[in-house]
Every structure is written in structure tokens, then in C-alpha cells.
Amino acid sequence: MNKSTFKLRSFLYSLFILIALVIITDFALPGKSFTDQVIKVQAERQQYYNAAQNYHYSYKLTTGQHDFSVSEDFAKTVNEGDTVNYRISRIFKEVNRYQLSEDKNMHTDSLRRYSGLILPLLVLVVMGFAYRHGRKMSALIFVMQTLTLADLAFLIM
């Protein structure tokens, strides 16, 4: 491997590590807190177009200021007119945590947990190994870089 290829590879690895750190930081910081009344809790049936024709429900909570996805358990406990507390991340403006005002337990949507914490941590681990093993992990590195870009696009949209 020549020197310019090594520099380019190191730059790309560093760039993806930086992106992963920004995503984790956005998830971990407390964010801006809001307290608002629930206007509507909406369940939407998500159909799989495969031979089994399976489906699941996704739940969306609407307040006066924001709409965001919530877990099924939380959606079944909250009613219209209830007051909820939630926190919006500083960088990507995503809802990180939410709770009913009278409840002590904070909830995090599973998709947000995966996109804001688990995937970026995997990227950091893979990129850390990549500095040591380089060529042996090129396919895995490419997959993780692609997932990181897709995650970043998801958070920006």
C-alpha cells in the first residue's frame, strides 16, 4: 500500500469515527426539554408484502409542538389530554426520551436507541479494529460506512 492510499484510508476512517461520535453525543446529551399536552395517539398498521402477509403497528404521538414515534407500551398508557415531558436532541432535533408527567420512568423509542447509540458504537468498534487489521476487514468496513451514511441521512431528514 502506498503512502497516499494509507493517508486517504486513515482520513476516511477518521471521518466515520467523527460522524459516529457526533451521533452518540447528540443521543447522550440531555437536549431541550418540552412539556405539552397529547393531542392524539395514532396507531398505524405496517404491512409486510411477503408470502406470510405479516404486519405490526407503529405508534405516533402528536402534541401541540411535535410529532414523534413512541413504543407500544407507552402508547397504550397515554390518553388524549395527558401531559407528557420529552427531550429534543440538540443537533438532529430528534426526540430522545419521553415520559408521562406523573410517571418517573423515561422511555426511549427503540429505533432512536439503535440509530443514536448502538449503530454508532458498532462503527467505533469496527473502525478501531480496522486501524489494526486494515485489508482483512474491507467488506465489513464498507458495510459499516454505508450504514453510517444511511443513519446520518435518516437523522438529518
Say if residue 45 is in the same domain as residue 64: yes
148, amino acid identity: T
Say if residue 78 is in the same domain as residue 144: no
pLDDT score of 2: 76
Residues 6+ apart with CB under 8 A from 93: none
**Domain span including residue 54:** 32-107
Three-state DSSP at 5 gives helix
pLDDT score of 134: 65
CATH code of 66's domain: 2.40.50.660
Question: pTM value?
Answer: 0.87
Distance CA 29, CA 48 (A): 35
Say if residue 13 is in the same domain as residue 40: no
Say if residue 53 is in the same domain as residue 102: yes
User: Based on the structure, what is the number of domains in the chain?
Assistant: 2
Per-residue confidence in pLDDT tens, the chain, 157 aa:
577 887 888 898 899 999 999 999 999 998 999 999 999 999 998 887 777 678 888 999 999 999 999 999 999 999 999 999 999 999 999 999 999 988 888 999 888 999 999 999 999 999 888 877 766 788 899 999 999 999 999 999 8
